[in-house]
């Protein structure tokens, strides 16, 4: 027992000595630093590109662009999977589809990275006769979440978006510069969801739509299929009214000075 007491006493004295030593010197302090380095990231996305009947790269006509984002089950490196549903499937039977259609594939075991989608849109617009005022975005399930995310992040890109059985973070646009907040208000939004969706609850779309209304979005709508589960995309993408609605919208607002 005495040996234990002596050990503890020794530790106490050592602690006292260390404390006095620190007081004798200047205590270490945090210093403010700034990182100033260029950070680059290489992105690779495989995608289907559909050019509508009558498209002429050298002609004067510019075409509307529709970007389609698939769901979780079509990820990977087999690009054929993207044609299973949605617009990428429709254009296989309808060569008169009136849009340039871009249908990328999300890599395996990944989530959509919206910055990569934005870079893809930029590349397609640079290389093809795209009408910059008529760019549209749609997606289902995982792609529906990405549609909301990219649409809210860069609303000035899109004339209209159509997320299906998606959701996300309805972060307020007040952090945006004023022009971007105004761009959000003028972007057309039409969301779709199954009333009996067991995978992504209807409340996800309802929450996003209500938030957009509170932010002052001038055209935001939610269509609910009461008896439909998760597969709300089949009825949506087979409805010609969706494409008619998209084509009614032009991006009249720009962030340019």
Could you tell me the residue ranges of all domains in the chain? Answer: 46-247
Local structure of residue 197 (DSSP, 8 states): -
Rg (CA), the chain: 26
Instruction: Name 144's Cβ contacts closer than 8 Å, sequence gap at least 6.
Output: 69, 71, 163, 164, 165, 166, 167, 200
SS3 for 227? coil
Is 58 within 8 Å of 66 (Cβ atoms)? Answer: no
Antiparallel, parallel or unpaired: β 100-105 and 130-140: unpaired
Predicted local distance difference test score (pLDDT) of residue 8: 42
Give the whole-angstrom CA distance, residue 191 versus residue 205.
Answer: 7
SS3 for 19? helix
Predicted local distance difference test score (pLDDT) of residue 201: 97
CATH number assigned to the domain covering 46-247: 3.40.50.1820
Hey, what are 205's tokens? 């779309």
Predicted local distance difference test score (pLDDT) of residue 127: 95
Give the whole-angstrom CA distance, residue 112 versus residue 142.
Answer: 8
Is 161 within 8 Å of 188 (Cβ atoms)? Answer: yes
Other residues' Cβ atoms within 10 Å of the Cβ of residue 62: 15
Give the whole-angstrom CA distance, residue 36 versus residue 95.
Answer: 50
Local structure of residue 35 (DSSP, 8 states): -
Predicted local distance difference test score (pLDDT) of residue 256: 55
Give the whole-angstrom CA distance, residue 105 versus residue 175.
Answer: 31
Instruction: Name 77's Cβ contacts closer than 8 Å, sequence gap at least 6.
Output: 46, 105, 107, 108
Give the whole-angstrom CA distance, residue 155 versus residue 197.
Answer: 27
Predicted local distance difference test score (pLDDT) of residue 173: 73
Give the whole-angstrom CA distance, residue 125 versus residue 132.
Answer: 8
SS3 for 95? coil
Predicted local distance difference test score (pLDDT) of residue 23: 56
Predicted local distance difference test score (pLDDT) of residue 253: 58
Q: How far does Cα 150 stand from its chain's mean position?
A: 3
| Residues 64, 214, 143, 255, CA torsion sign | positive
- Looking from the CA of 31 toward its CB, the CA atoms found within 13 Å total 3
- In this prediction, the residues of the chain whose per-residue pLDDT falls under 50 are 1-11, 13, 16-18, 257
User: What is the signed CA dihedral for 42, 43, 49, 55, rounded to 10 degrees?
Assistant: -50
């Amino acid at each position: 027992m005495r040996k234990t007491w002596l050990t503890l006493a020794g530790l106490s004295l050592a602690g006292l000595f260390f404390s006095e030593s620190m007081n004798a010197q200047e205590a270490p302090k945090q210093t403010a630093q700034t990182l100033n380095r260029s950070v680059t990231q290489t992105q690779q996305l495989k995608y289907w590109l559909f050019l509508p009947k009558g498209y002429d790269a050298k002609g004067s006509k510019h075409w509307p662009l529709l970007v389609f984002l698939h769901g979780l089950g079509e990820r990977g490196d087999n690009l054929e999977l993207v044609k299973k549903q949605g617009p990428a499937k429709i254009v296989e039977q309808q060569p008169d589809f009136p849009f340039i259609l871009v249908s990328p594939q999300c890599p395996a075991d990944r989530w959509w990275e919206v910055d990569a989608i934005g870079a893809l849109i930029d590349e397609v617009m640079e290389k093809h006769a795209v009408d910059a005022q008529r760019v549209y975005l749609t997606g289902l399930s995982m792609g529906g979440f990405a549609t909301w995310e990219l649409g809210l992040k860069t609303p000035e890109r899109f004339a209209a978006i159509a997320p299906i059985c998606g959701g996300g973070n309805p972060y307020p646009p007040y952090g945006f510069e004023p022009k971007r907040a105004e761009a959000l208000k003028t972007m057309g939004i039409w969301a779709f969801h199954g009333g009996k969706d067991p995978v992504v609850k209807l409340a996800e779309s309802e929450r996003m739509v209500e938030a957009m209304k509170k932010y002052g979005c001038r055209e935001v709508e939610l269509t609910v299929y009461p008896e439909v589960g998760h597969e709300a995309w089949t009825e949506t993408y087979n409805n010609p009214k969706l494409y008619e609605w998209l084509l009614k919208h032009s991006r009249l607002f720009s962030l340019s000075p």
